[in-house]
């Protein structure tokens, strides 16, 4: 770290990550300037050494017993394990050494232990879920009975709040293994196998003897990273390690007062990329005490529908405006085109793999490699498109909350949404939406303004009326009777009479439910997000939106002639006489009633336009400009006759003679 963050009252520490690129470096021992290629090569040598030690450490402890020992949080003596993964592994005695003949310092070993410890700790949760699914294997893996659902949730720690989609995905994974091997897997370690080790350097596990980072004194938008890198792929001694100074350009999203942390380095396409973490103060978001809230409803074609509600002192909830919608039809259409292209490429690649069948056919192998490269290219395009869409939707949503001066955003919880029974195309579109990315980006952006993001249950949000909780009747929209779908909703209660877009009714229900249940807001221990887990009937009865008092419901249709209104009275004349005309051109209004209008008509009045814009009256005012074709306002031109716009073309029928 380059300093210590100081927090004031009402502030909280926020840690974010920014991406940077190491374009060059300077070897401090020789003064040589390292190009991008040379720098990437030296960082790659160090990453290869770390990856080899990580693979050896994970391979030795990739089993249920060792992962359980690390996950329990205490060592053999009953002492609590440190939070840092490399310190926890050293407390347990899980050490690793460099390859024979290679000399590395202790900080490089720390990076390997930190990376291995994080992988082993992340496997503990998957092991618990998989063990619960295997111990309560259903009679039909494709469809569990209610009793079987209760059994599997009871066998998983925290399974009562676990989304059903996670349990189903683990069930399908185990069923695929059983179909291929004729038996169920023993645990997740047999089901998944040893994970792939990425080439990266976790500099956060090091101290100043291996890497340092400081802000540049001359340029506030830059930082200087110093780290030790090997000069050869197999360093034989400490002399083969030298200090390299690299400058990182900070993006404008990093505040000037933020505390910088040591980054994580990755080598991608011959370039060293840095994931730079930084900590900065933000307003603290409150769990309760909200009076203005924004509700968000998910949609398929309309990605987001949102609006604001206000909770009054008397307990009544009123709407602040009609709400808005975030539409991304063009981006979603491109996303679906890329998805279909990716499916076709995968089908071709699988066909080539079956044709190869282990045969040494160089022509088919070359085609298969070309298809693999195209698949990676399309996957990168889809990922970039999803990231851009997630950031745009989250930014729009947070801007709506800021404009409404809301202190909380209530988000519909669709983690357990299952796409089924809607056709192959629609099921795929629902399954591949970027709701998770949008939620994460929304929490990140809202935290900068002290706005809380709380997920609420989605049950009956689109089914009941937001004003009286009566079941709604869904039909086609009145302005789009030929559009497929049931976008319009109307209340069956004659005393209420609410009707509108069902997505607008849904965000009203979500925001009202959140305001009435805000005392039930808890923090999820797995990800630290705020969530309302269940709906209370007594509180739900008060989650109704009161119609605005200024909304008139009387029929405003015209039933008779318009009432005659008297003309506007003439303005009062000046009571004081005007000053005398000055001798010069500049001065005040001349004396008397001298005309101040145009002295001559504009050029448009003298053009030949063949027709007049208005008919010449016989009595009263004689319009000069209009009679000559300049229009009533002297600048409006008459439309030429139709026969002047028809081109004079010759007939092409020819002669029969």
Considering the domain architecture, whether residues 320 and 406 belong to the same structural domain is answered as: yes
Q: Are residues 197 and 328 in the same domain?
A: no
pLDDT for residue 432:
54
Same domain, 226 and 298: no
Examine the domain organization and report whether 245 and 325 are in the same domain: no
3 state SS of 322: strand
Same domain, yes or no: 237 and 305: no
Q: Are residues 272 and 319 in the same domain?
A: no
Q: What is the pLDDT of residue 322?
A: 87
DSSP strand E in 180-291: where? 200-202, 211-215, 222-230, 241-249, 259-260, 264-268, 271-283
Tell me how crowded residue 133 is: count the other CB atoms within 10 A of its CB. 25
Q: Flag residues of the chain having pLDDT under 70.
A: 1-3, 415-433, 485, 549-558, 568-657
484, 509, 540: which is the final residue of a domain? 540
Same domain? For 454 and 489 the reply is yes
Q: Do 206 and 133 share a structural domain?
A: yes
Q: Tell me, what's the pLDDT at 241?
A: 94
Do 307 and 266 reside in the same domain of the chain? no
* Residue 566 belongs to some domain of the structure: no
Cα→Cα distances 542→51, 202, 291, Å: 57, 51, 15
Domain containing residue 97: 11-137+184-282
Q: Is residue 519 part of a domain?
A: yes
Q: Are residues 241 and 125 in the same domain?
A: yes
Q: What dihedral angle (degrees, nearest 10) is formed by the CA atoms of 45, 50, 53, 58?
A: -130
Q: In this structure, are residues 499 and 489 in contact, taking their beta carbons and an 8 Å threshold?
A: yes
Give me the pLDDT at residue 657, please. Answer: 33
Q: Quick one: 56 and 116 in the same domain?
A: yes
Phi, psi dihedrals of residue 265, rounded to the nearest 5°: -100, 135
Element (H, E) at 146: helix 146-155
On whether the CB atoms of residues 611 and 628 are closer than 8 A, the answer is no
- Residue 567 domain flag: no
Give domain status of residue 66, yes or no: yes
Are 5 and 280 in contact by the 8 Å Cβ rule? The answer is: yes
In a domain, 81, yes or no: yes
User: For residue 205, what is the DSSP state?
Assistant: G
**Distance from C-alpha of 395 to C-alpha of 85, rounded to nearest angstrom:** 35
- Angle made by CA atoms 92, 97, 98, in degrees to the nearest 5: 155
Asked if residues 275 and 260 have their Cβ atoms less than 8 Å apart, the reply is no
Do 412 and 329 lie in one domain? The reply is yes
Whether residue 655 is contained in a domain is answered as no
Task: Give Dmax (Cα) for the chain.
Answer: 117
CB count within 10 Å of CB 167 equals 21
Number of domains in the chain: 2
φ, ψ at 30 (rounded to 5°): -110, -15
Q: Is 557 exposed, middle or buried (0-12, 13-18, 19+ CB in 10 A)?
A: exposed
Q: Which of 487, 514, 540 is the last residue of a domain?
A: 540
Instruction: Please report, for the domain that includes residue 426, its CATH number.
Output: 3.30.420.10
Pair of tokens at residue 248? 């990182």
Tell me, what's the pLDDT at 620? 57
Evaluate whether residue 343 is within a structural domain.
no
Mean pLDDT of the chain: 83
The answer to whether residue 575 sits within a structural domain is no
Domain termination site, one of 505, 540, 575: 540
User: What's the pLDDT score for residue 603?
Assistant: 55
The pLDDT score that the predictor gives to residue 56 is: 93
């Amino acid at each position: 770290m380059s300093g210590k963050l100081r927090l004031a009252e009402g502030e909280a520490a926020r840690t974010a990550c920014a991406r940077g690129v190491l374009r060059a470096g300077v070897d401090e021992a020789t003064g040589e300037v390292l190009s991008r290629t040379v720098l990437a090569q030296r960082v790659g040598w160090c990453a290869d050494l770390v990856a080899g030690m990580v693979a050896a450490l994970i391979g030795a402890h990739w089993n249920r017993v060792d992962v359980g020992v690390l996950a329990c949080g205490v060592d053999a003596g009953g002492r609590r394990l440190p939070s840092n993964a490399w310190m926890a592994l050293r407390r347990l005695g899980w050490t690793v050494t460099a390859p024979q003949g290679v000399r590395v310092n202790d900080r490089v070993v720390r990076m390997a232990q930190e990376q291995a410890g994080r992988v082993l700790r992340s496997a503990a949760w998957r092991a618990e879920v998989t063990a619960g699914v295997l111990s309560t294997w259903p009679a039909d893996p494709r469809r569990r009975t209610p009793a079987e659902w209760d059994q599997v949730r009871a066998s998983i720690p925290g399974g009562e709040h676990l989304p059903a989609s996670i349990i189903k995905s683990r069930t399908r994974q185990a069923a695929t293994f059983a179909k291929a091997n004729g038996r169920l897997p023993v645990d997740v370690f047999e089901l998944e196998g040893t994970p792939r080790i990425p080439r990266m350097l976790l500099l956060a596990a090091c101290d100043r003897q291996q890497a340092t980072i400081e802000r540049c004194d001359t340029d506030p938008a830059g930082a200087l990273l110093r780290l030790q890198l090997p000069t050869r792929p197999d360093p034989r001694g400490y002399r083969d390690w030298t200090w390299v100074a690299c400058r990182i350009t900070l993006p404008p999203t990093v505040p000037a007062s933020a505390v910088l942390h040591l980054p994580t380095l990755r080598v991608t396409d011959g370039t060293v990329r840095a994931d730079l973490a930084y900590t900065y103060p933000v307003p603290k978001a409150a769990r309760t005490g909200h009076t203005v809230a924004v509700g968000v409803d998910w949609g398929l074609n309309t990605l987001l529908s949102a609006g604001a509600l206000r909770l009054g002192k008397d307990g009544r909830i009123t709407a602040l405006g009609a709400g808005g919608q975030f539409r991304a039809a063009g981006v979603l259409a491109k996303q679906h085109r890329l998805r279909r292209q990716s499916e076709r490429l995968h089908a071709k690649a699988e066909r080539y793999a079956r044709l190869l069948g282990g045969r040494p056919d160089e022509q088919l192998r070359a085609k298969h490699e070309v298809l693999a490269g195209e698949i990676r290219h399309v996957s990168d395009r889809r990922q970039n498109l999803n990231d851009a869409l997630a950031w745009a939707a989250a930014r729009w949503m947070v801007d709506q909350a800021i404009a409404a001066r809301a202190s909380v955003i209530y988000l519909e919880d669709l983690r357990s949404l299952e796409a089924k029974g809607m056709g192959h195309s629609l099921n795929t579109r629902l399954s591949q939406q970027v709701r998770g990315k949008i939620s994460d980006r929304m929490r990140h952006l809202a935290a900068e303004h002290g706005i809380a993001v709380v997920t609420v249950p989605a049950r009956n949000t689109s089914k009941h009326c937001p004003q009286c909780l009566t079941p709604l009747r869904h039909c086609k929209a009145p302005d789009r009777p030929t559009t497929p779908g049931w976008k319009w909703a109307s209340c069956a209660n004659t005393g209420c009479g609410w009707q509108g877009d069902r997505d607008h009714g849904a965000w009203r229900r979500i925001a009202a439910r959140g305001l009435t249940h805000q005392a039930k807001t808890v923090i999820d221990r797995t990800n630290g997000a705020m969530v309302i887990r269940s709906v209370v009937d007594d509180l739900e009865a008060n989650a109704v939106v009161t119609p605005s008092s200024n909304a008139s419901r009387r029929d405003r249709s015209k039933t008779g002639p318009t009432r005659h209104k008297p003309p506007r009275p003439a303005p009062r004349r000046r009571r004081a006489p005007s000053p005398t005309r000055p001798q010069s051109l500049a001065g005040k209004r001349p004396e008397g009633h001298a005309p101040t209008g145009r002295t001559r008509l504009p050029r448009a009045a003298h053009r030949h336009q063949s027709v007049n814009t208005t008919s010449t009256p016989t009595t009263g005012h004689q319009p000069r400009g209009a009679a000559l074709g300049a229009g009533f306002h002297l600048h409006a031109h008459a439309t030429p006759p139709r026969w002047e716009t028809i081109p004079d073309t010759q007939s092409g029928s020819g002669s029969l003679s």
